[in-house]
Chain A
Amino acid sequence: MTVQPASTEIASRTAAIIQEMRGLEGPLLPILHGIQEEFGHVPQDSLPVIAEALNISRAEVHGVVSFYHDYRRHPAGRHVLKLCQAESCQSMGSDAVAAKIKQLLGIGFHETTRDGSVTLEPVYCLGLCACSPAAMLDGEVIGRLDDEKIEEIVTEVRS
Chain B
Amino acid sequence: MIPRIYIPGDSGALALGAEKVAKAIASELAERGIEAKIVRNGSRGAYFLEPMVEVATANGRVAYGPVKPSDVKSLFDCGFLTGGHHKRWLGAPDKIPFLAKQTRLTFARCGVTDPLSLESYKNHGGLNGLTNALKLTPAAIVAQVTESGLRGRGGAGFPTGIKWKTVLDTVGDRKYIVCNADEGDSGTFADRMIMEGDPFVLIEGMTIAGIATGATKGFVYIRSEYPHAVAVMNKAVEVARKAGVLGASVLGSSNAFDMEIRVGAGAYVCGEETALLDSLEGKRGMVRAKPPLPAHKGLFGKPTVINNVISLASVPVIMDKGAPFYKDFGMGRSRGTIPIQIAGNVKYAGLFEAAFGMTLGEIVDDIGGGTATGRPVKAVQVGGPLGAYFPRALFDTPFDYEAFAAKDGLIGHAGIVVFDDTADMLKQARFAMEFCAIESCGKCTPCRIGSTRGVETIDRLAAGIEPEKNLALVTDLCNTMKFGSLCALGGFTPYPVMSSITHFPDDFKPAPVRVAAE
Contact = CB atoms under 8 A, between A and B. Distances in A.
Interface in A80-116: 86-92
A142 interface: yes
B283 A127 contact: no
Contact of A128 (B15, B217, B428): B15
B8 interface: no
Contacts of B45: 130
B39 interface: no
Contacts of B62: none
B428 A124 contact: no
A32 interface: yes
Contact of B192 (A29, A67, A127): A127
A130 B368 CA distance: 11
Given A29-B279, A129-B186, A142 B15 contact: yes
A131 B267 CA distance: 23
A91 B14 contact: no
Nearest to A145: B15
B265 A33 contact: yes
Contacts of B41: none
Interface string B403-434: 00000000000010111100100001001000
Interface stretch (B73-81, B220-228, B236-244): B220-228
Chain A: interface residue count, which band?
35 or more
B343 A143 contact: no
Interface in A28-78: 28-30, 32-33, 54, 60, 63-64, 67-71
Interface in B183-197: 183-189, 191-192
Contacts of B184: 124-125
A141 B265 contact: no
B89 to A, nearest CB: 22
Interface in B305-348: 341-345
B186 A88 contact: yes
Contacts, number: 148
A10 interface: no
A5 interface: no
A25 interface: yes
Contacts of A127: 11-12, 183, 188-189, 191-192, 225-226
Contact of B343 (A27, A54, A88, A141): A88
A128 to B, nearest CB: 5
Contacts of B133: none
A21 B41 CA distance: 32
B121 interface: no
B262 A130 contact: no
Contacts of A87: 186-187, 344, 381, 384-385, 417, 428, 431
A141 B15 contact: yes
Given A87-B344, A123-B225, A92 B265 contact: no
Contacts of A132: 343-345
Chain B: interface residue count, which band?
35 or more
A31 to B, nearest CB: 8
A131 B186 contact: no
Nearest to A136: B225
A32 B265 contact: yes
B483 interface: no
A91 B226 contact: no
A141 B186 contact: no
A64 B283 contact: yes
Contacts of B263: 29-30, 33
A132 B417 CA distance: 11
Nearest to A134: B15
A92 B280 CA distance: 34
Contacts of B342: 130
A91 B11 contact: no
B417 A129 contact: yes
A126 interface: yes
Given A33-B265, A87-B431, A91-B419, A129 B341 contact: yes
Contacts of A64: 282-284
B10 to A, nearest CB: 10
A48 B126 CA distance: 48
Contacts of A92: 344-345, 372
B15 A26 contact: no
Nearest to B385: A87
Nearest to B342: A130
Interface string B265-280: 1111000000000011
A156 B475 CA distance: 47
Nearest to B226: A127
Contacts of B226: 127
Instruction: From A87, A89, A136, name the one whose CB has the most chain B CB atoms within 10 angstroms.
Output: A87
B390 to A, nearest CB: 13
Contacts of B419: 91
Contacts of A71: 265
B281 interface: yes
A67 B267 contact: yes
Contact of B12 (A24, A54, A128): A128
Q: List the 7 shortest-distance A-B pairs measured between CB atoms, nearest first.
A: A28-B282, A143-B15, A86-B186, A129-B343, A68-B265, A69-B266, A130-B47
Interface of A: 24-30, 32-33, 54, 60, 63-64, 67-71, 86-92, 123-132, 134, 136, 139-144
Given A27-B282, A68-B266, A68-B285, 17 more contacts: A24-B260, A25-B217, A26-B281, A29-B279, A33-B263, A67-B284, A70-B224, A87-B381, A87-B384, A89-B186, A125-B185, A126-B11, A129-B344, A130-B47, A130-B341, A130-B343, A131-B349
26 contacts: A26-B280, A26-B281, A29-B265, A54-B282, A60-B283, A63-B284, A64-B282, A67-B285, A68-B264, A87-B381, A88-B187, A91-B345, A91-B417, A92-B344, A124-B184, A124-B385, A125-B185, A126-B11, A127-B188, A129-B188, A129-B417, A130-B342, A130-B350, A131-B349, A132-B344, A141-B11
